[in-house]
């Protein structure tokens, strides 16, 4: 790894707010102090939104070979030459195909050494599936392409949450809540907090699944039969896993502030409180990959697409988080590089020094 990574930025759904987020973010020259950006789109999409939103034109460098990449400026990899019709705020199969083309080229370029990490703008899952993508979202696609066991972590400056079951129908959650699956998730989160966030001894809260944590079996026995044994097994391996906590009281009392990470049992259990706290500035991070992949924690926002009012906070934080994790991995895997002190690192905010680009 070099000190300043090459970051691929995929355009996402061009009928959503992705192009606006990219144009606004890359118009600030501070970005080039942290990375070399390579956008996966084409000039037509960028010029369309530059004109529509009355933004300053970006000077882009077209990249056809690795040797063409230039530091200190925006690089562009043309992902498609298809004729397209841009309709801000409206889903379309051609927008889904374009987003998928951008994603495929970016993954190809990682494997060929063009780029090291990827920031993905939001896609419309239905459009990409209809265009031929076999996976229900970015996370599953990356897991397949890199043959990795991944963990989705949502985070902002003060909260990191993960879950045992991700994009799983609620009716199927309980059958996937096993002691082995919980323990695997605890161990993965512990390792990811160490290697990617520089926390030497993570303190992890484990949530229950039933109301009031099951009330000692009165409202369900998963906490007794499955979750507590997983916590005890993790503790035997030296992991600071504590719980299970009833999720309503845990978030309501701000107990989450006492932990480095929170592991819930299912998607909405942790994402509803997280997005209540951090919808405008949170980041979605796919841990467990050989690359670093981040994205904003929101979707295409069709209702405001093309109106020039999209908040870039989450997107900017996703970009700067790549740089932070990149440095943490360098330190973790190279013992010659001293790690930050525990408290100093805990208090460091990954958006420090980032201007308000809204």
Q: What is the 3-state secondary structure (H, E, C) of 124-186?
A: CHHHHHHCCCCCCCHHHHHHHHCCCCCEEEEECCCCEEEECCCCCCHHHHHHHCCHHHHHHHH
Mean pLDDT value across the chain: 90
Architecture of the 1-150+281-340 domain: 3-Layer(aba) Sandwich (3.40)
- On whether the CB atoms of residues 26 and 42 are closer than 8 A, the answer is no
Partner residues linked to 120 by β-bridges: 10
Q: 208: closest CA among 154, 237, 170, 250?
A: 250
Q: Which two tokens stand for residue 119?
A: 């920031």
Domain boundaries, the chain: 1-150+281-340, 158-280
Residues with Cβ within 8 Å of residue 343, at least 6 apart in sequence: none
pTM: predicted TM-score of the whole model, two decimal places: 0.88
Residues with Cβ within 8 Å of residue 195, at least 6 apart in sequence: 328, 329, 332, 333
Q: In which residue are the tokens 């051609």 written?
A: 94
- The larger pLDDT score, comparing residue 216 to residue 204, is at 204
pLDDT exceeds cutoff 50 at 342: no
CA-to-CA distance for 26 and 35, rounded, in angstroms?
11
1-150+281-340 and 158-280 in the same fold: yes
Tally of CA atoms within 13 A in the half-sphere of 130 that contains its CB: 11
Sign of torsion, CA 234 236 239 245? positive
- The larger pLDDT score, comparing residue 233 to residue 83, is at 233
Question: Given pLDDT bands bounded at 50, 70 and 90, which one contains residue 346?
Answer: very low
What CATH class is the domain 158-280? alpha beta
> Residue 238: which region, alpha, beta or left (left: phi > 0; alpha: psi -120 to 50)?
left
CA-to-CA distance for 333 and 336, rounded, in angstroms?
9
CA distances from 211 to 109, 182, 194, 223, 255 (A): 47, 18, 31, 11, 17
**Model pLDDT for residues 167-198, shown as the tens digit of each residue:** 888 899 999 999 999 999 999 999 999 999 99
Give residue 149's pLDDT. 93
pLDDT exceeds cutoff 90 at 1: no
Q: 206: closest CA among 257, 153, 150, 250?
A: 250
């Amino acid at each position: 790894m070099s000190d300043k990574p090459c970051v691929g930025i995929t355009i996402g759904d061009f009928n959503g707010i992705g192009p606006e987020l990219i144009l606004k973010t890359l118009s600030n020259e501070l970005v080039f102090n942290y990375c070399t950006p390579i956008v996966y789109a084409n000039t037509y999409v960028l010029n369309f939104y530059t004109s529509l939103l009355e933004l300053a034109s970006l000077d882009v460098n077209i990249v056809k070979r690795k040797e063409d990449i230039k530091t200190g400026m925006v690089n562009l990899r043309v992902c498609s030459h298809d004729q397209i019709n841009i309709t801000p705020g409206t889903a379309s199969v051609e927008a889904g195909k374009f987003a998928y083309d951008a994603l495929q080229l970016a993954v190809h370029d990682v494997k060929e050494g063009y780029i090291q990490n990827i920031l993905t703008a939001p896609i419309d899952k239905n459009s990409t599936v209809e265009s031929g993508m076999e996976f229900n979202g970015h996370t599953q696609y990356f897991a397949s392409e890199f043959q990795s066991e991944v963990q989705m972590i949502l985070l902002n400056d003060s909260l990191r949450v993960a879950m045992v079951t991700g994009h799983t129908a609620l009716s199927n959650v309980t059958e996937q809540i096993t002691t082995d699956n919980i323990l695997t998730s605890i161990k993965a989160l512990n390792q990811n907090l160490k290697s990617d966030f520089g926390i030497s001894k993570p303190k992890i809260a484990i949530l229950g699944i039933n109301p009031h944590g099951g009330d000692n079996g009165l409202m369900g026995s998963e906490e007794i039969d499955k979750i507590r044994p997983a916590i005890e097994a993790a503790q035997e391996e030296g992991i600071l896993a504590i719980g299970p906590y009833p999720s309503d009281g845990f978030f309501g009392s701000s107990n989450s502030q006492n932990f480095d990470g929170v592991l819930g049992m299912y998607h909405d259990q942790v994402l509803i409180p997280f997005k209540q706290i951090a919808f405008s500035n949170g980041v979605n991070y796919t841990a467990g990959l050989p690359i670093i992949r981040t994205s904003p924690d929101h979707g295409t926002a069709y209702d405001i697409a093309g109106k020039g009012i999209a908040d870039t906070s989450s997107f900017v934080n996703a970009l700067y988080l790549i740089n932070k994790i990149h440095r943490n991995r360098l330190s973790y895997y190279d013992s010659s590089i001293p790690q930050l002190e525990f408290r100093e690192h805990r208090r460091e905010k990954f958006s420090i020094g980032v201007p308000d680009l809204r």
